[in-house]
């Protein structure tokens, strides 16, 4: 029965999806009789802070977790404060409806959202679960005609993940606060991902480069018909050492089996081969064949989006989300490489139409997923519909056009013929004047039929690797042909440390290790970047010194939780819960309480032990681990030797280096110096540490203030150099009688090691009284502020040009400034730092500017602050467009409306005068005020604390940037 015929009988059906964009598209396909509304992401979640815990649970020992660990891990769900109005709207729409269709995405998270909607709305009308993997007219109508029931196994699997991540994050994160730094977070997958990045940096730090040499010969056939280059491969029967023959310690792995050439020996050999005669010793020709790449799934789309388009995983998924919601592509969170029969037919039709029948294989190609326990039976990511729109037909622009084109090309190419050709290997031999036999080799590749390479060529992570469509042609030579050496040159090389991860390679590594779910990787990368565990240098992911301390603590005291195999086994267990082969509660009990379960309860048969097929024995008690903090030495886990007694330490205010004390017996610490937070750890050498320590630092005693007798010192603070007075011992620092020392920042023209007592006293005397306005009698002062020097008269402030004017400006000059009309708005715009070209999305010119809070990129409408690793001078247009796309995807900043301040009344008076009914009303008003404040406060708390996954879903996109395992990942908080 079609939607139109079904609604002809009357009645109204409420269809609930996640996002407004999705709702708008689907509404156009369903027509009258259907009301389509968005839940705007998750409507209910575990409390994100104490303020969200209902009053009746606040005294419970488990309230902080939001999970009753003593009662079968019963979760405490609350409607998100920013979703209460939307829930109210949904209830009103449901009251006028005859049926409810829950049309959230068909994955674990989508199923959980549908379940939460049913639980909160409590419908009294029939409930249908409506699922589809593309938003097209036919797919939506088919979904309406073929509803199903809610899949409780998927719901249970998702809720188990949610509870697991809450337990992990809310129990382990406070350990980091106490032992490393406040406001840090830990998460089941984010911590493991951080460890991978840190381990790669450790390998780079421990790496010793080795120098090796070889020869390159340019050879010509005797008639001179062509030349080709060949590399020296053996000398006197021994293979010439290449980079792969050296270990990370810079030494040969098998020194007796290879010939390692030094610069001297390589140049001598090149000279000995100048007059040698050469001939072709062998020619090997083999058929070359390359099959198409499988259609995109989530991780391969993120990797190619990074390599080809310069888009981060998060930006790629945001753009893909918009393409899906607007009906251009199928669902973008999938582990599958399968194409439906409809999609195969559409792809094959376009192959024949665009490339001809010669490029079409006899039978459709079938791809099987390589992902273990692939999540739901979705299709691969492909253009939607039974006929693919070419990129030009979509009307898309900017990032959406580029990503759609990538998906379209990959899908069409997957149904094309193989690329075929010939690969050739040629060996050239000659004898040096010293009698040693030398052999060179060259390889070539010729593609005789490009096949799928006409449509799509996959990029590689290795910038030095050849692409699949690159040809290397060699002249036609046969065995025994005489060759002339045009030149023989000695080439020097050095081994390189392992490359840092990029977003693409880290996603690939996580997937290969079977850690986490592919649909969560974009959020995990976003989390470790937002937490400053990792920063970007170009496209490389560089771990911060902070992440070294965090990983150090986790490895030493929570080793099992960041063990790669253990994390992968947890993923297997969670998948078994999703299929009904394991039970959630016994598994959670064993993970949290340990081998004997909670309160002495035994693990039930078929529970955790069975679920893990023996792996359950490895599930330690998280609760016991986090309670045993006495063994954790905070100073030790945050200290790392640099060399020559110098130690890097991660303090609460950032990293610093510390030299050994001059007198070890004094107990005094050695000299210290701050380390730039954006310094890659492998670049902190002993020499650099000494250079940092040699810079002026510490307290510079300038003398005594004659007026107070207090010492005056100059210091280098975290926010720049300043001077301050030292108050006598015993001066109260807190309470009503607290005395604060006078402080003042140094002028930009002043140096810390050259500032004088006179300078300091002058600075501490600010603000300086310039004089009184003869007309109004108001006093005019000159002072230094956050945004520079200025004059102040009452509430009227005027900027000064230089800091030196503060002490030199006269009353006459000040009055002249005030006599001028006050400039409204911003000062004249400064010229841009760099022009990047026109934005592909908006068409507006994009420039880099220097703002109050640092450099930013703008198209005149959207502004995006540059990240720490972005250099304004070297910023590429693509990177600028990506930053703007990310900012646009977040949507406009929502401002919380201010409410009129309530009249001040004491609790006692209120209790005495109010009736019970009015007390209830007052309580309701307070709750509303709390909710208003909570919009910003709770999010801030969630970001600063949380479990790596605890932030409530944002209201942008289908699911925003948070919460669970599908849209934004298990650890998006």
Nearest to 332 by CA among 373, 388, 383: 383
For residue 138, count other CB atoms closer than 10 A to its CB: 14
384 near 396, Cβ under 8 Å? no
Please calculate the CA angle 123-126-127 and round it to the nearest 5 degrees. Answer: 75
Rounded to an integer, what distance in angstroms lies between the CA atom of residue 759 and that of residue 766?
A: 12
| Sheet of 99-102, strands arranged across | 34-38, 13-17, 99-102, 127-129
What are the tokens at 744?
């003042």
Nearest to 311 by CA among 400, 196, 192, 396: 400
Rounded to an integer, what distance in angstroms lies between the CA atom of residue 201 and that of residue 457?
A: 31
> Under DSSP, is residue 338 helix (H, G, I), strand (E, B) or coil?
coil
What backbone torsions phi and psi does residue 668 show, to the nearest 5 degrees?
A: -80, 145
Nearest to 490 by CA among 185, 209, 264, 730: 264
Q: How far is CA 16 from CA 32, 58, 282, 353, in A?
A: 15, 33, 70, 39
Q: How far is CA 372 from CA 255, 512, 518, in A?
A: 41, 10, 11
Q: How far is CA 47 from the centre of its chain?
A: 24
Contacts of 480 (CB under 8 A, 6+ apart): 279, 280
307 near 504, Cβ under 8 Å? yes
Catalytic member of 324, 331, 404, 592: 331
| E strand residue ranges, 749-795 | 768-772, 779-785, 788-793
Q: Residue holding tokens 């001077």?
A: 723
For residue 434, count other CB atoms closer than 10 A to its CB: 11
Q: How far is CA 165 from CA 27, 169, 190, 528, 562, in A?
A: 36, 6, 11, 16, 13
803 near 789, Cβ under 8 Å? yes
Using only C-alpha atoms, what is the Rg of the chain?
A: 34
10 Å CB burial of residue 705 (0-12, 13-18, 19+) is middle
Rounded to an integer, what distance in angstroms lies between the CA atom of residue 950 and that of residue 217?
A: 61
Active site residue 324: no
Nearest to 815 by CA among 795, 784, 791, 794: 791
Nearest to 557 by CA among 492, 627, 489, 648: 627
Q: Which residues of 228-257 are buried (b: 16+ CB within 10 A; e: fewer)?
A: bebebbbbeeeebbeeebbeeeeebeeeee
712: left (phi over 0), alpha (psi -120 to 50) or beta: beta
Rounded to an integer, what distance in angstroms lies between the CA atom of residue 295 and that of residue 759?
A: 69
Q: How far is CA 564 from the centre of its chain?
A: 20
Nearest to 153 by CA among 576, 567, 589: 576
519 near 969, Cβ under 8 Å? yes
Q: Residue holding tokens 């010439």?
A: 240
Q: Residue holding tokens 């490489």?
A: 337
What are the catalytic residues? 331
């Amino acid at each position: 029965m079609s939607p139109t015929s079904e609604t002809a009988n009357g009645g109204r059906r409420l269809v609930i999806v996640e996002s407004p964009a999705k709702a708008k598209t689907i509404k156009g396909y369903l027509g009258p009789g259907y009301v389509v509304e968005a839940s705007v992401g998750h409507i209910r979640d575990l409390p994100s802070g104490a303020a969200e815990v209902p009053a009746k649970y606040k005294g419970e020992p488990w309230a902080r977790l939001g999970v009753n660990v003593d009662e079968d891990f019963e979760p405490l769900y609350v409607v998100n404060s920013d979703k209460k109005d939307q829930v109210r709207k949904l209830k009103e729409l449901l009251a006028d409806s005859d049926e409810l269709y829950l049309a959230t995405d068909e994955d674990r998270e989508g199923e959980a959202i549908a379940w939460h909607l049913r639980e909160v709305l409590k419908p009294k009308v029939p409930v249908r679960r409506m699922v589809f993997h593309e938003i097209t007219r036919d797919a939506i109508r088919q979904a309406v005609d073929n509803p199903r029931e809610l899949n409780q196994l998927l719901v249970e699997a998702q809720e188990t993940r949610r509870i697991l991540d809450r337990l992990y994050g809310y129990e382990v994160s406070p350990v980091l606060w106490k032992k490393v730094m406040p406001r840090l977070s830990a998460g089941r997958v984010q911590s493991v991902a951080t460890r991978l990045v840190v381990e790669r940096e450790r390998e780079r730090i421990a790496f010793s480069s080795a120098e090796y040499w070889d020869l390159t010969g340019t050879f010509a056939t005797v008639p001179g018909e062509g030349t080709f280059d060949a590399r020296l491969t053996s000398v006197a029967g021994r293979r010439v050492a290449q980079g792969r023959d050296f270990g990370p310690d810079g030494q040969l792995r098998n020194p007796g089996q290879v010939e390692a050439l030094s610069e001297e020996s390589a140049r001598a050999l090149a000279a000995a081969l100048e007059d040698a005669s050469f001939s072709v010793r062998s020619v090997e020709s083999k058929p070359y064949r390359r099959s198409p790449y499988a259609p995109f799934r989530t991780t391969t789309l993120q990797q190619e989006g990074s390599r080809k388009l310069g888009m981060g995983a998060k930006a790629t998924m945001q753009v893909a989300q918009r393409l899906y919601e607007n009906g251009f592509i199928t669902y973008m969170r999938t582990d599958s490489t399968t194409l439906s029969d409809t999609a195969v037919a559409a792809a094959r039709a376009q192959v024949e139409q665009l490339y001809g029948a010669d490029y079409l294989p006899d039978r459709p190609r079938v791809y099987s997923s390589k992902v273990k326990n692939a999540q739901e039976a979705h299709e691969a990511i492909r253009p939607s519909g039974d006929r693919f729109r070419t990129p030009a037909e979509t009307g898309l622009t900017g990032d959406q056009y580029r990503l759609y084109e990538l998906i379209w090309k990959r899908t069409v190419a997957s149904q094309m013929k193989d690329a075929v050709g010939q690969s050739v290997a040629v060996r050239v031999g000659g004898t040096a004047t010293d009698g040693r036999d030398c052999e060179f080799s060259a390889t070539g590749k010729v593609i005789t039929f490009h096949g799928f390479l006409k449509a799509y060529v996959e990029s590689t992570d290795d910038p030095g690797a050849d692409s699949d469509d690159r040809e290397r042609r060699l002249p036609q030579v046969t065995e025994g042909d005489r060759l002339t050496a045009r030149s023989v040159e000695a080439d020097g090389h050095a081994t390189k440390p392992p490359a840092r991860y990029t977003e693409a390679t880290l996603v690939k590594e996580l997937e290969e290790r079977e850690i986490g779910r592919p649909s969560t990787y974009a959020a995990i990368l976003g989390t470790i970047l937002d937490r400053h565990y990792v920063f970007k240098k170009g496209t490389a992911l560089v771990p911060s010194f902070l992440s070294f301390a965090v990983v150090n603590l986790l490895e030493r005291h929570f080793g099992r939780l960041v063990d790669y195999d253990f994390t992968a086994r947890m993923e297997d267990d969670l998948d078994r819960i999703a299929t009904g082969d394991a039970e959630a509660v016994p598994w959670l009990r064993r993970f949290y309480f340990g081998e004997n379960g909670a309160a002495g309860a035994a693990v039930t048969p078929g529970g955790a032990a069975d679920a893990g097929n023996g792996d359950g024995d490895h599930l330690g008690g998280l609760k016991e681990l986090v309670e045993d903090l006495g063994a954790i030495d905070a100073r030790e886990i945050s200290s790392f030797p640099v060399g020559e007694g110098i130690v890097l330490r991660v303090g609460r205010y950032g990293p610093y280096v510390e030299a050994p004390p001059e007198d070890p017996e004094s107990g005094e610490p050695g000299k210290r110096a701050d380390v730039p937070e954006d310094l890659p750890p492998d670049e902190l050498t002993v020499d650099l540490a000494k250079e940092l320590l040699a810079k002026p630092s510490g307290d510079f005693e300038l003398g005594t203030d004659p007026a107070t007798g207090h010492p005056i010192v100059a210091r280098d603070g975290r926010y720049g150099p300043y001077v301050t007075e030292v108050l006598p011992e015993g001066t109260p620092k807190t309470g009503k009688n607290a005395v604060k020392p006078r402080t003042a920042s140094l002028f930009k023209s002043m140096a810390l090691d050259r500032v004088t007592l006179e300078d300091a006293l002058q600075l501490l005397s600010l603000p300086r009284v310039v004089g009184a306005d003869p007309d109004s009698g108001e006093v005019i002062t000159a002072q230094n502020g956050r945004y520079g020097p200025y004059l102040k008269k009452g509430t009227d402030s005027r900027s000064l040009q230089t800091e030196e004017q503060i002490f030199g400006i006269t009353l006459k000059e000040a009055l002249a400034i005030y006599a001028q009309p006050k400039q409204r708005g911003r000062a004249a715009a400064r010229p841009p730092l760099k022009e990047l070209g026109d934005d592909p999305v908006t068409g507006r010119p994009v420039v880099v500017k220097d703002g109050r809070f640092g450099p930013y990129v703008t198209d005149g409408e959207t502004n995006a602050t540059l990240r720490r690793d972005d250099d304004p001078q070297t910023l590429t247009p693509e990177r600028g467009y990506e930053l703007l796309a990310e900012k646009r995807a977040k949507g406009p900043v929502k401002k919380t409306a201010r409410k009129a301040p309530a009249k001040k009344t004491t609790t006692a008076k209120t209790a005495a005068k109010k009736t019970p009914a009015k007390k209830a009303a007052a309580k309701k008003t307070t709750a509303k005020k709390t909710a208003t404040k909570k919009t910003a406060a709770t999010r801030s708390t969630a970001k600063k604390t949380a479990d790596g996954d605890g932030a409530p879903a944002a209201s942008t996109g289908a699911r925003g940037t948070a919460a669970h395992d599908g849209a934004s990942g298990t650890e998006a908080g």
